[in-house]
Copies of this chain bind each other. A is one copy, B any other.
């Protein structure tokens, strides 16, 4: 029985990693679609979202089957619950990649304007946070999980600065309001991806230490 459980947990991990690759791919494409005003790429993200949705349902059903059939305890139980939560968050990151891609499609219909913030820097930050949070999960790397968790402040601050920049740009160019608010949404979506990566790190910490760190001050 214990061996069967081991095999099932290994399969579950592989399945979650395959979902995370799909989500990372969607996010990379969404970011690139903004950079290059590439609506074809944006449409690819929209078209592939149902694969991520379906995959999330499968991982959840796999978790429930393991709980029902193998009744894991202690560390194994915490692992399954962490996978349930990470799975949920990955699907929501997939939705944000869709939202970003929809902005690309909308923006293409507007007169082009300069992106009102350092998009390359901020999007790289979000992509890196997601990648590192998943690496922390794969390698059960607690040091990395804590590091990503503590770095969430940086992307929050970037997003705050985008608000200020958008306010002042709208005042001088009120006719650009639609495009500017869409770029503001993109910044907000990137910031929320940072939040989800932070959640994933919290789940990794919980899984490894059995300690719930969320709702405690970052870096405390």
Secondary structure at chain A's binding surface: helix, strand, loop or mixed?
helix
B171 near A175: Cβ-Cβ < 8 Å: yes
Render A62-102 as a binary contact track against B, CB cut-off 8 A, 1 for contact. 00100110010110011001001100100000000000000
Is A9 positioned at the interface, with any CB of B under 8 Å from its CB?
no
Bound-state CA distance A184–B177 (Å) is 13
Task: Using CB atoms, name the residue of chain B closest to A210.
Answer: B64
Closest to A215 in B: B53
Closest CB in chain B relative to A31 CB, distance in Å: 22
A178 at the interface (CB under 8 A from B): yes
Copies of this chain, how many? 2
Cβ-defined contact, A163 with B175, below 8 A: no
A191 at the interface (CB under 8 A from B): no
Known: A163-B181, A177-B170, A177-B171. A81 touches B84 (CB 8 A): yes
Q: In the complex, are the beta carbons of A50 and B171 less than 8 A apart?
A: no
A215 to B215, CA, bound (A): 30
Q: Chain B residues near A67 (CB, 8 Å)? A: 67, 77, 81
Q: Name the interface residues of A94-121: CB closer than 8 Å to any CB of B.
A: none
Distance in angstroms between the alpha carbons of A88 and B86 in the assembled complex: 12
Q: Determine whether the beta carbon of A64 is less than 8 Å from that of B78.
A: yes
- Whether A60 is near chain B, meaning CB under 8 Å from some CB there, is yes
- 6 cross-chain pairs, A with B, having the tightest CB-CB distances, nearest first: A53-B215, A174-B174, A71-B71, A170-B177, A68-B73, A171-B174
Q: List 14 A-B contacts (CB under 8 A).
A: A53-B214, A54-B215, A56-B215, A64-B78, A64-B81, A67-B67, A67-B81, A68-B73, A68-B77, A166-B181, A170-B170, A170-B177, A171-B177, A181-B181
